[in-house]
Amino acid sequence: MTSQTATADPTGPSRNAIDTQLRAILVDVLALDAARVAEFDADTGLFGHLPELDSMAVATLFTEMEDRLGFVIEDEDVDGEMLETYGGLLAFAEAKAVEI
């Protein structure tokens, strides 16, 4: 882990830190252009809208989220809504970060 990971802050990651990390994860895992991902808003479609985000990429995405954001994603945590939009994925990551 790098010193910039969310777990480096004992008070927990800020909303901005989670957003920044999540965008970096999407760039790295899906090989998306960073400028494109920087423009994502809460309503930007993900699964079913980005051809790069297929079922195989979802598993890698979750693994990277766990590693970089410092939480565990259980099977029961996963539902279709969390992957529909960037806002849904961000809200999920923020909720999981609060749990740690």
Q: Where are the domains of the chain?
A: 15-98
Nearest-CA neighbor of 21 among 48, 61, 55?
Answer: 61
Tell me the two tokens of residue 85: 């939009």
Nearest-CA neighbor of 61 among 91, 23, 87, 94?
Answer: 23
Judge whether 96 and 71 are in contact, CB under 8 Å.
yes
Contacts made by residues 33-40, CB under 8 angstroms, sequence distance 24+: 40/86
**What's the whole-model pTM score?**
0.84
Three-state secondary-structure class, residue 85: strand
Of 13-17, 23-27, 44-48, 67-71, the poorest mean pLDDT is in: 13-17
Say what the pLDDT of residue 14 is.
Answer: 85
pLDDT confidence tier of residue 11, bands split at 50, 70 and 90: low
**What's the mean per-residue pLDDT of the chain?**
89
Q: Which fold has domain 15-98?
A: 1.10.1200
